[in-house]
């Protein structure tokens, strides 16, 4: 039985070294990336029994992704393998000075985007599972991936698993209207929503203080908890991080203070937060979840690549300095 089951696409990230622009690059650093895999990576690193469901091409790139997942303790026994399609890529220019980081996707026709419903035994995978986690990226990949996501969420509810959903809106995958239609339907089956003010504004047109936004989603969709992460970026290489969670019991938990960050690499920081939050939630309560989410994301900002390279002991030590307040 799994603590965490995730579903999503993984890609290879290609980054020019030393803050180079793509046009001047003669070499690339290669990292494995993907929102739900990033979260699975984090929860597995923290000791939770985690599996990641996806579809990969049986070639060196696909095997690289699976090997990296295994290396971090993620179970990949439910990955579907195919000889058709391709592994998606994305190129990342790391920003510096006044130049922001930029991402360029090359993922059309990926093996995951062609995943079909009724190809995964969700009942068997989710039997006894504590949490099923997916993001808004997965249903945006294709109509079939939307159907697979709906199928998995339905199976998770039938299995008694909590459903965790990160809105993760991507404008290059679908329009706000398409996202609202799909996500709005899914949210009626979600227990824990993780999102940002930007995404709730773009997709649902909701603008207010973060706690008020979270409270509105809890009330409207009967969620157990809604969580908003809050980023401030006064410069390309510096930022502040905080978060707030509202529960169905009417309690609000917020970061005690904004965390000052040096932004070595912010990509994957939201996925790291998800991992820390779910770990804290399963091993404690929402207050602990907020603390561990904040700490996990803060440490991720200090690490190149998409994953949070961290041990449970390091996270515990970091959390000691990050207190959470309860707002009544």
Which residues are part of the catalytic machinery?
271
Token pair of 199 as six digits: 């995404």
Q: Which residues share a beta bridge with 193?
A: 165, 226
Query: What 8-state DSSP symbol labels residue 75?
Result: B
Q: Tabulate helix, strand, coil % of the chain (nearest 5).
A: 40, 25, 35
Q: Where are the alpha helices (DSSP H) in 86-209?
A: 122-126, 137-140, 143-159, 176-186, 197-204
- Tell me how far the alpha carbon of residue 187 is from its chain's centroid: 16
User: How many C-beta atoms surround the C-beta of residue 321 within 10 A?
Assistant: 12
Q: How far apart are the C-alpha atoms of 97 and 236, rounded to whole Å?
A: 6
Cβ neighbors of 271 (< 8 A, separation 6 or more) are 35, 36, 38, 39, 42, 166, 306
Q: How far apart are the C-alpha atoms of 232 and 258, rounded to whole Å?
A: 9
């Amino acid at each position: 039985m799994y603590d965490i089951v995730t579903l999503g696409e993984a890609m290879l990230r290609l980054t020019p070294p030393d803050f180079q622009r793509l046009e001047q690059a003669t070499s690339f650093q290669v990292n494995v990336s993907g929102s739900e895999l990033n979260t699975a990576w984090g929860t597995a690193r923290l000791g939770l029994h985690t599996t990641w469901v996806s579809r990969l091409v049986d070639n060196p790139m696909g095997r690289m992704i699976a090997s990296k997942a295994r290396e971090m303790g993620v179970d990949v026994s439910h990955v579907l393998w195919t000889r058709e399609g391709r592994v998606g890529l994305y190129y990342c220019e790391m920003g510096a000075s006044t130049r922001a980081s930029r991402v360029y996707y090359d993922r059309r026709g990926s093996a995951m985007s062609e995943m079909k419903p009724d190809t995964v035994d969700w009942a068997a995978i989710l039997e006894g599972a504590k949490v099923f986690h997916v993001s808004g990226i997965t249903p945006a990949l294709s109509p079939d991936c939307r159907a697979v996501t709906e199928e998995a969420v339905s199976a998770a509810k039938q299995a008694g698993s909590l459903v965790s959903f990160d809105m993760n809106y991507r404008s290059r995958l679908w329009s706000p209207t398409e996202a609202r239609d799909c996500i709005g339907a899914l949210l009626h089956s979600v227990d824990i929503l993780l999102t940002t003010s930007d995404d709730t504004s773009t997709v649902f047109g909701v603008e207010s203080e973060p706690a008020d936004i979270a409270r509105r989603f809890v009330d409207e969709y009967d969620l157990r908890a809604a969580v908003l992460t809050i980023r401030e970026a006064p410069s390309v290489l510096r930022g502040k991080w905080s978060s707030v969670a509202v529960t169905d019991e009417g309690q609000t938990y917020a970061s005690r203070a904004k965390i000052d960050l040096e932004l070595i690499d912010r990509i994957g920081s939201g996925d790291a937060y998800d991992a820390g939050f779910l770990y804290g939630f399963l091993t404690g309560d929402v207050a602990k979840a907020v603390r561990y989410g904040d700490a996990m994301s803060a440490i991720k900002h200090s690490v190149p690549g998409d994953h949070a390279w961290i041990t449970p002991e390091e996270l515990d030590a970091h959390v000691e300095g990050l207190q959470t307040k309860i707002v009544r």
